[in-house]
Structure 1
Amino acid sequence: MARRKKIYEGKAKILYEGPEPGTLVQYFKDDATAFNAQKKEVVDGKGVLNNRLSEFFMTGLNNIGVPTHFIKRLNMREQLVRSCEIIPLEVVVRNVAAGSLSKRLGIEEGTVLTRPIVEYYYKDDKLGDPMVTEEHIAAFGWASQQDMDDILSLALRVNDFMSGVMMAVGIRLVDFKIEIGRLYDGDYQRLIVADEISPDSCRLWDAESGQKLDKDVFRRDLGDLADAYTEVARRLGVMPKNSQPITKPTLIN
């Protein structure tokens, strides 16, 4: 079997050349990182869970008309995605004060915001992904004003969808991060949701107890990360409801 060509390797995923032009294979690793990879650990089964959960969310977005790079899941750790040009921004949508927002502004964690706040961060690990404004984005040519209008619209639509889906299973969507890609068809360009949507890229709290079900479990040493992600998958119906937390979960198709 021919060895696949690796295109890119990040902290949590590897991208390989896809079987057809314009496609990539996205592989989910078990690596968990925090604080710009200063804290690292391998969590058995994490990549399997994130692959399946990202498939669930991306499929839901595609079904309601929010375009994404997701085509189909290939196996337990890989999915076929469209190749696109990633805009060098992390788009963060916040519904509840937490994490860096609470630290930066002195707002008590858990404070419900009166409206979603959308923030932009420049994707550069060496710089620590600094927060930037629309003025920075325009000045450095990372995205046009039309792009920014479209990015804001996509981010808020993702927020509406994700908030509803999570609240229906008793989970509060505190905040999340997405990346946006440019997809070209000749001279025509459209923006799509890319990368992944999983507990790695969201803050998820139990709606009643406030228990954290996301990567903060790893960041703050609050318990077993695989158990937290398994609970999210179980509530969403991605895993059987009677399954027990296990290191290498068996997922339903």
Structure 2
Amino acid sequence: MARRKLVYEGKAKILYEGPEPGTFVQYFKDDATAFNAEKKDVIEGKGVLNNRLCEFFMTGLNQIGVPTHFLKRINMREQLIRQVEIIPLEVIVRNYAAGTMAKRLGMEEGTQLPRPIVEFSYKDDSLGDPLVPEEYIIAFGWASQQDLDDMIALALRVNDYMSGVMYGVGIKLIDFKIEIGRVWENEFMRLIVADEISPDSCRLWDIETNQKLDKDVFRRDLGSLTDAYTEVARRLGVMPTNATPMTKPTLIN
């Protein structure tokens, strides 16, 4: 049986042709990158954890009526997703000042913001994914004003869901980024959450200690990234308390 056709390989995931038209198989790699891939490593088990956590979050969003590209998990590293036309923007929602926002504004990390703030960055690693105002987005045709309104509404709904889920297990959702794609159903176009939601794309701090449980552990050399992600999965009940993530399973044709 022929191996799947590779469609796209990114820093943390690979897309293969799916079993049916309009679907992809999304494979989660163990690669970890930071600072637009200036820092790289391979961390065994990371892809397994991100696949399971992404399944958990996407399934939860689908259940509350927030549309996503997620269809089902296939195995420990792969999931079946809908094919979408990705809008070339990262949608960032911030609940607390951290990372680049804290640096830009000279704010102390962890400062709670008066309300969730939604930002957009243009997806281009060579440019450092620069922040862009809504005026640019509309002028360059990346999205319409209606698209932007819908994207903000989607992002805030994701934030409400994620914040509540995380608070329930003693974790603060500091910020996160998502990607949004277009799908067509007959002549009707709608926007859905795509890519992934995992500790790779969120900042997660323990409520009591402010211990970081996200990719900042790798960015700032704060310890074991696998241990941090496993702790998030353990609290959410995604993996058994005594589970050891599988590493490097064989791709299924």
State the match for 2:209 in structure 1: 209
Cα pair 1:227 1:245 within 8 Å, conserved? no
Aligned partners of 1:246, 1:126: CA distance in 2, in Å? 33
- 1:15-26 aligned at under 5 Å gives the runs 15-26=15-26
Is 1:230 aligned to residue 230 of structure 2? yes
Aligned partners of 1:116, 1:167: CA distance in 2, in Å? 15
RMSD between superposed Cα atoms in Å: 1.2
The TM-score normalised by the length of structure 1 is 0.96
Aligned residues: 248
State the match for 2:56 in structure 1: 56
State the match for 2:127 in structure 1: 127
| 1:131 partner SS | coil
Aligned-pair CA distance for 1:185: 1.6
State the match for 1:36 in structure 2: 36
Cα pair 1:171 1:204 within 8 Å, conserved? yes
Aligned partners of 1:57, 1:68: CA distance in 2, in Å? 10
What is the percent sequence identity of the aligned residues? 77
Is 1:12 aligned to residue 12 of structure 2? yes
Q: Partner letter of residue 221 of structure 2?
A: D
Cα deviations across residues 23-80 of structure 1 (Å, max 9, x unaligned)? 0000000000000000000000000000000000000000000000000000000000
Gaps of 5+ in 2: 249-253
State the match for 2:2 in structure 1: 2
Aligned partners of 1:34, 1:24: CA distance in 2, in Å? 26
Gaps of 5+ in 1: none
Q: Partner letter of residue 102 of structure 1?
A: A
Distance 1:17 1:246, change over 3 A: closer
State the match for 1:92 in structure 2: 92
Aligned partners of 2:133, 2:107: CA distance in 1, in Å? 21
State the match for 1:137 in structure 2: 137
Aligned-pair CA distance for 1:246: 6.1
State the match for 2:70 in structure 1: 70
Cα pair 2:69 2:194 within 8 Å, conserved? yes
The TM-score normalised by the length of structure 2 is 0.96
Cα pair 2:23 2:81 within 8 Å, conserved? yes
| 1:132 partner SS | coil
State the match for 1:115 in structure 2: 115
State the match for 1:196 in structure 2: 196
Aligned partners of 1:212, 1:248: CA distance in 2, in Å? 23
Cα pair 2:49 2:245 within 8 Å, conserved? no
Q: Partner letter of residue 228 of structure 2?
A: A
Aligned-pair CA distance for 1:233: 0.2
Aligned partners of 2:247, 2:202: CA distance in 1, in Å? 22
| 1:162 partner SS | helix
Cα pair 2:4 2:16 within 8 Å, conserved? yes
Aligned-pair CA distance for 1:247: 7.5
Aligned partners of 2:50, 2:218: CA distance in 1, in Å? 15
Cα pair 1:227 1:246 within 8 Å, conserved? no
Aligned-pair CA distance for 1:3: 1.7
Aligned-pair CA distance for 1:92: 0.3
Aligned-pair CA distance for 1:186: 2.5
Is 1:148 aligned to residue 131 of structure 2? no
Cα deviations across residues 131-163 of structure 1 (Å, max 9, x unaligned)? 001000000000001100100000000000000
Aligned partners of 2:173, 2:207: CA distance in 1, in Å? 9
Q: Partner letter of residue 132 of structure 2?
A: V
